């Protein structure tokens, strides 16, 4: 096989570098199996321990994954440059000409116009040694966390400015974990979180979710593994649209109370456009962080978010940021300040939140009318359980729809497809539901195996 012969080397580093190059070139693609340790050792004329060390390094860096009792494979989304996604995965290249409801993007027409705000910002050079956080932006950040203050029953402390929600989550995990540590994640969950944990050398412990958030019994079992962190999405959970209810949060806070040393990381990425109230799991905790992004309601290219939490966690994040990137662009900070000062922007955000809710609920209603179970209490996506993902993706593509397969979101949870509803109008929702019902109909079951 080409995939086997493309791997060369005499040392563990050479073998790991060669396999990584094969992934980059496309000789090995996501989900492809890699040679067995003994088989590759025999072919290369090295000891099995040398190959095992190479594979161990690749697992720590998230390039390959190994499941107990199964072979080792290239990760679904390895943290290296790879060729575009294949059609079966519902990737960006999967359905030329099809109506794309797979991408998770907000509606461009509901994002604010940046041109006027850009014209008002100060473009004079910002040099080293200047303040890393715009004072007006710091006030906005504290305003953003007013609902958190109410639930905590106290003022929040320091707020750090980060480059979006994922940047904030990564910085918190870097501050509280080491390679090999366990981290609780939602299953199914945000593909970026699963990939990030893998790339950081962390062991993901999945907990199931329902419409109200993480399932309590699963969290109890996960805590027995003594995890270092728990990454949870309080609302607009991707892909299921879950939103923590007050009742579920109370149960989970009680369960988590026995593990105060564990860091709870709340990824409240959608915040103002989530379409559900914010309920926190951080109340009463020693180690915690809440991350909020401006990208969902101001535009994905505005890579700016706010992070708050306990003093030590925020201090570690801010201190490490100074040693690396240093600060989030002052121009970007000014732009967010100018947008926030514009009342029309607030009206735009409220309108977007309302439209997203209407579009999501319209699709859920249409699906229910066709007898299709679906989930989506909040956010931009609807999750539909299916018997098998690839045939549903392919048959819907034949009908002119590009959906997202759930495999990149799953550890052990059942298959599903994800539909982004951000731009769906009512007529499209009806057509989509009708087509999906035809694909999932009992008469079509022979094609879904």
What's the average pLDDT block by block, 10 residues per block, for the chain (449 residues)?
Answer: 71 95 91 93 95 93 79 88 53 66 94 89 87 91 91 87 95 95 98 94 96 98 98 98 97 95 97 95 95 91 94 94 90 93 90 96 97 97 97 96 96 97 95 97 55
Among candidates 187, 182, 294, which has minimal Cα distance to 232? 187
Half-sphere exposure of residue 113: CA atoms within 13 angstroms, side-chain side: 4
For the chain, the C-alpha Rg in angstroms (whole number) is 23
Q: Which residues pair with 213 in a beta bridge?
A: 210
pLDDT of amino acid 131 = 86
pLDDT of amino acid 238 = 97
Please give, one letter per residue, the 3-state secondary structure of the chain.
Answer: CHHHHCCCCCCHHHHHHHHHHHHHHCCCCCCCECCCHHHHHHHHCCCHHHHHHHHHHHHHCCCEEECCCCCEEECCCCCCCCCCCCHHHCCCCCCCCCEECCCCCCCHHHCCCCHHHHHHCCCCCCCCCCCCCCHHHHHHHHHHCHHHHHHHCCCCCCEEEECCHHHHHHHHHHHHCCCCCEEEEECCCCHHHHHHHHHCCCEEEEECEECCEECHHHHHHHHCCCCCEEEECCCCCCCCCCCCCHHHHHHHHHHHCCCCCCEEEEEECCHHHCCCCCCCCCCCCCCEEEEEECHHHHCCCCCCEEEEECHHHHHHHHHHHHHCCCCCCHHHHHHHHHHHHCHHHHHHHHHHHHHHHHHHHHHHHHHHHCCCCCECCCCCEEEEECCCHHHHHHHHHHCCEECEECHHHCCCCCCEEEEECCCCCHHHHHHHHHHHHHHHCHHHHHHHC
Give the domains, in start order, of the chain with CATH numbers. 2-74 (1.10.10.10), 87-109+345-448 (3.90.1150.10), 116-341 (3.40.640.10)
Do the beta carbons of residue 414 and residue 210 sit within 8 Å? no
Q: Is the pTM of this model over 0.85?
A: yes
Among positive and negative, which fits the CA dihedral 142, 143, 146, 147?
negative
What is d(CA 161, CA 144) in angstroms, rounded to the nearest whole number? 12
pLDDT of amino acid 86 = 46
pLDDT of amino acid 144 = 87
């Amino acid at each position: 096989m080409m995939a086997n012969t493309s791997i060369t080397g005499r040392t563990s580093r050479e073998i790991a570098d060669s396999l990584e190059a094969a992934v980059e070139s496309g000789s090995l693609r996501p989900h492809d199996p890699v040679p067995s340790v003994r088989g590759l050792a025999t072919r290369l004329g090295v000891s099995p321990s040398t190959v095992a060390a190479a594979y161990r390094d690749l697992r720590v860096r998230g390039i390959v994954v190994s499941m107990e009792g199964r072979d080792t494979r290239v990760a679904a989304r390895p943290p290296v440059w790879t060729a575009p996604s294949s059609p079966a995965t519902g990737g960006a290249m999967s359905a030329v000409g099809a109506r794309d409801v797979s991408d998770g993007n907000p509606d461009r027409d509901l994002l604010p116009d940046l041109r006027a705000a850009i014209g008002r910002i100060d473009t004079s050079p910002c040099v080293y040694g200047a303040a890393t956080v715009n004072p007006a932006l710091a006030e906005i950040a504290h305003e953003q966390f007013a609902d958190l203050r109410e639930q905590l029953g106290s003022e929040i402390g320091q707020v750090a400015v980060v480059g979006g929600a994922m940047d904030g989550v990564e910085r918190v995990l870097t501050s509280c974990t080491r390679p090999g540590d366990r981290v609780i994640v939602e299953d199914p969950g945000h593909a970026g979180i699963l990939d990030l944990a893998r790339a950081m050398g962390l062991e993901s412990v999945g907990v199931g979710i329902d419409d109200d958030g993480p399932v309590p019994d699963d969290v109890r079992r996960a805590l027995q593994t003594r995890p270092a962190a728990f990454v949870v999405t309080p609302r607009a959970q991707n892909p299921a649209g879950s939103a923590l209810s007050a009742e579920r949060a109370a149960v989970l806070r009680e369960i988590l109370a026995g593990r105060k040393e564990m860091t709870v990381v709340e990824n409240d990425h959608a915040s103002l456009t989530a379409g559900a109230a914010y309920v926190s799991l951080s109340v009463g905790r020693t180690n915690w962080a809440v991350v909020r992004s401006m990208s969902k309601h101001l535009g994905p290219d505005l890579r700016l978010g706010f992070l708050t939490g306990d003093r030590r966690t925020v201090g570690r994040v801010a201190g490490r940021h100074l040693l690396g990137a240093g600060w989030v662009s002052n121009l970007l900070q000014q732009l967010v300040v100018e947008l926030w000062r514009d009342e029309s922007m607030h009206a735009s955000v409220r309108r977007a939140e309302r439209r997203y809710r209407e579009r999501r609920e319209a699709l859920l209603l249409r699906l229910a009318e066709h007898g299709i179970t679906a989930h989506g209490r909040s956010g931009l996506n609807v999750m539909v359980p299916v018997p098998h993902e690839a045939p549903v993706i392919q048959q819907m593509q034949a009908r002119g729809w590009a959906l997202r397969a759930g495999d990149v979101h799953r550890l052990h949870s059942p298959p599903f497809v994800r539909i982004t509803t951000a731009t769906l109008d009512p007529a499209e929702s009806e057509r989509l539901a009708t087509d999906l019902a035809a694909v999932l109909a009992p008469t079509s079951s022979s094609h879904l195996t």
